[in-house]
């Protein structure tokens, strides 16, 4: 039987294993980031107010994805650890209960999409056109979010058993469909009418739903190490608790980004004569930085099951080598991002037809945090993989809420918007110090004792 043999995550050379799991995910993340950029480029070509609205919608979309990916991290860690321990019954329960949790989360965002989006946009802008475009866009994304929840969950089930190529294919399919549908639905083509921001949202959810069906098919046909079935299914409180123990901190950490971006957009309203331009610059930054951060997240996706599996299998040397290589690769990727945002910000901003006067100093200031961020992202995922997600959550809370937002507010009191952006590297230094301390704690209390 396939599931009684040693999984490749316990035997394959670490560098080869990390690259084999990560590179497909890095590639798919790059395509996803490319989609995010192209999507926004099309919207900015359609209408400047529509682009501002889509930028303001980021916290809601990020919150939704935070719940989906956070649950996925919990499923991934518990499932991989269970397979490492040869506990196949618990692995199956992790998969079934994880899917159940994702459906519950979808129902929550369905209600937000129906009842909450107007209040959300009205809190960030007084421009009626921006508000209306935002309502059109976000309502569709949230009401039809069953696609993204199912897609991400099925991807994580594939990744947890080492089937990263199939996981990549699932994600790529959604991204490619988005790219094809975007210009058709935004600008209209033949009998298809021009739909603007609503068209961008429809392209997104169509891609997600199709990718979800592909993910379901791949799991049923190729993922033989786990068996997903809802026949006589009953939620298992113990398994759900274990999934949330790892996944909830990850969800909270990603959700904090939504709070932070919402807060920054509110702080930018203190510059009333340039508020729309400033919010557009901030939105353009978040779209472009995904092209740098997404590959690191892809690296994370490959790293977490390796660490979780070898933690369950009590192989500390493989855990240490995985962490070291992941940090080196992540910091190298972030260095490329720092160079791009420092030396060619005019070119990057030109994709969105947004202000270079405001954008160039913003990009150069924020990108100073990139190198530190690479180390901190990897460390946070290591903490989650070994069941210490709470420490990772604490680091994220301190960085974005305790340091970044107060620093941005205090710097905004100077009346110089260019100073606001330095809150990002200030916060990342605080995150770096905490991450170094917590990683040392993990080595001392969790990894090194495995030698005994």
pLDDT at 7: 63
Q: What is the C-alpha separation between 428 and 412, in angstroms, rounded?
A: 19
For residues 154-160, give the mean pLDDT.
Answer: 88
Asked if 131 and 270 count as a contact pair (C-beta separation under 8 A), the reply is: no
Query: Confidence class of residue 332 from pLDDT cuts 50, 70 and 90?
Result: very high
Q: Retrieve residue 252's tokens.
A: 């909270």
Instruction: Fill in the DSSP letter of residue 194.
Output: P
> What's the average model confidence in pLDDT over 366-390?
90
Q: What is the pLDDT of residues 400-434, one digit of tens each?
A: 999 999 999 999 999 999 999 999 999 999 999 99
pLDDT surpasses 60 at 17: yes
- 311-318 average pLDDT score: 89
Q: How far is CA 80 from the centre of its chain?
A: 20
Strand ranges in 335-395 using DSSP code E only, listed in sequence order: none
**pTM for the model:** 0.82
In Å, how far from its chain's centre is CA 59? 12
Q: Choose the most confident range, by mean pLDDT, from 83-92, 172-181, 370-379.
A: 370-379
Burial class for 443, CB neighbours closer than 10 Å (0-12, 13-18, 19+): middle
User: Percentage of the chain with pLDDT > 70?
Assistant: 98
Going from the C-alpha of 27 to that of each of 66, 91, 162, the distances in angstroms are: 21, 28, 16
Encoded tokens for 128: 């009626």
Contacts of 330 (CB under 8 A, 6+ apart): 296, 299, 374, 375, 377, 378
* 3 state DSSP class of 192: strand
Judged by DSSP in three states, 13 sits in coil
- pLDDT reported for residue 140: 97
Give residue 227's pLDDT: 79
Q: What is the DSSP letter of 162?
A: T
Q: pLDDT class for 6, splitting at 50, 70, 90?
A: low
pLDDT at 3: 45
Note the pLDDT tens digit of each residue in 273-302: 999 999 999 999 988 998 899 889 889 888
pLDDT band at 218; cut points 50, 70, 90:
very high
Can you tell me the mean pLDDT for 151-169?
87
Residue 1 has pLDDT above 60, yes or no: no
* pLDDT tens per residue, range 346-375: 999 998 888 899 999 999 999 999 989 999
- For 156-173, what is the mean pLDDT? 86
Which range among 244-248, 279-283, 386-390 has the greatest average pLDDT? 279-283
CA dihedral 407→378→436→8, nearest 10 degrees, is 170
CA dihedral sign, ordered 64, 66, 68, 71: negative
Kindly report the average pLDDT of the chain as a whole number: 90
Q: What is the pLDDT of residue 22?
A: 86
**Predicted confidence (pLDDT) at residue 100 exceeds the cutoff of 90:** yes
CA atoms within 13 A on the CB side of 198: 9
**Which of 157, 144, 167 lies closest to 64, judged by CA?**
144
Among 119, 112, 111, 110, which residue's Cα sits nearest to residue 143? 110
The pLDDT, as a whole number, for residue 2 is 43
Q: Is 70 exceeded by the pLDDT of residue 339?
A: yes
Contact 113, 282 (CB under 8 A): no
- The yes-or-no verdict on residue 311 having pLDDT over 70 is yes
Label residue 54 by pLDDT band (50, 70, 90): very high
Mark 192-226 as b/e (b = at least 16 C-beta within 10 Å): eeebbbbbbbbbbbbbbbbbbebbbebbeeebebb
DSSP per-residue codes, 167-189: HHHHHHHHHHHHHHHHHHHHH-B
The predicted pLDDT at position 115 comes to 95
Cβ neighbours of residue 208 closer than 8 Å, sequence gap 6 or more: 144, 145, 147, 148, 151, 174
Q: pLDDT tens for residues 219-230?
A: 999 988 887 777
């Amino acid at each position: 039987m396939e599931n009684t043999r040693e999984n490749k995550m316990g035997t394959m050379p670490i560098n080869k294993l990390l690259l084999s799991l990560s590179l497909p995910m890095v590639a798919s993340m790059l395509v996803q980031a490319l989609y995010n950029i192209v999507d926004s480029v099309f919207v900015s070509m359609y209408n400047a107010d529509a682009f501002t609205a889509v930028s303001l919608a980021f916290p809601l979309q990020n919150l939704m994805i935070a719940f989906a990916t956070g649950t996925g991290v919990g499923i991934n860690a518990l499932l991989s650890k269970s397979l490492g321990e040869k506990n196949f019954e618990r692995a199956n329960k992790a998969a079934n209960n994880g899917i159940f949790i994702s459906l519950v989360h979808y129902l929550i965002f369905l209600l937000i999409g129906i009842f909450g989006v107007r209040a959300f946009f009205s809190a960030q802008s007084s421009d009626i056109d921006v508000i209306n475009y935002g309502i059109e866009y976000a309502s569709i994304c949230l009401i039809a979010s069953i696609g993204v929840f199912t897609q991400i969950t099925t991807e994580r089930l594939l990744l947890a058993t080492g089937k990263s190529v199939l996981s990549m294919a699932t994600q790529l399919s959604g991204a490619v469909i988005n790219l094809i549908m975007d210009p058709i639905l935004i600008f209209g083509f033949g009998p298809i009418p021009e739909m603007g921001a609503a068209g961008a949202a429809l392209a997104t959810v169509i891609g997600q739903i199709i990718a979800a069906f592909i993910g379901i098919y791949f799991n049923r046909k190729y993922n033989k190490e786990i068996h997903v079935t809802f026949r006589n299914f009953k939620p298992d409180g113990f398994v759900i608790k274990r999934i949330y123990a790892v996944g909830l901190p990850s969800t909270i950490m990603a959700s904090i980004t939504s709070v932070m971006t919402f807060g920054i957009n509110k702080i930018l309203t203190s510059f009333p004569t340039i508020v729309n331009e400033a919010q557009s610059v901030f939105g353009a930054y978040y779209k472009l930085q995904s092209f740098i951060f997404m590959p690191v997240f892809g690296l994370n996706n490959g790293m977490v099951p390796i660490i979780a599996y070898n933690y369950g299998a009590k192989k500390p040397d493989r855990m240490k080598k995985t962490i070291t290589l992941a940090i080196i690769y992540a910091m190298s990727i972030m260095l490329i991002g720092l160079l791009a945002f420092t030396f060619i910000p005019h070119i990057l901003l030109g994709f969105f037809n947004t202000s270079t006067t405001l954008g160039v100093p913003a990009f150069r200031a924020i990108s100073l945090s990139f190198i530190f961020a690479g180390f901190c992202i990897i460390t946070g995922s290591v903490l989650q993989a070994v069941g210490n997600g709470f420490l990772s959550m604490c680091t994220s809370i301190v960085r974005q809420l305790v340091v970044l937002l107060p620093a941005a507010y205090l710097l905004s009191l100077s009346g110089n918007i260019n100073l606001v952006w330095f809150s990002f590297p200030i916060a990342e230094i605080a995150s770096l110090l905490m991450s170094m301390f917590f990683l040392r704690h993990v080595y001392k209390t969790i990894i090194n004792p495995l030698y005994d």
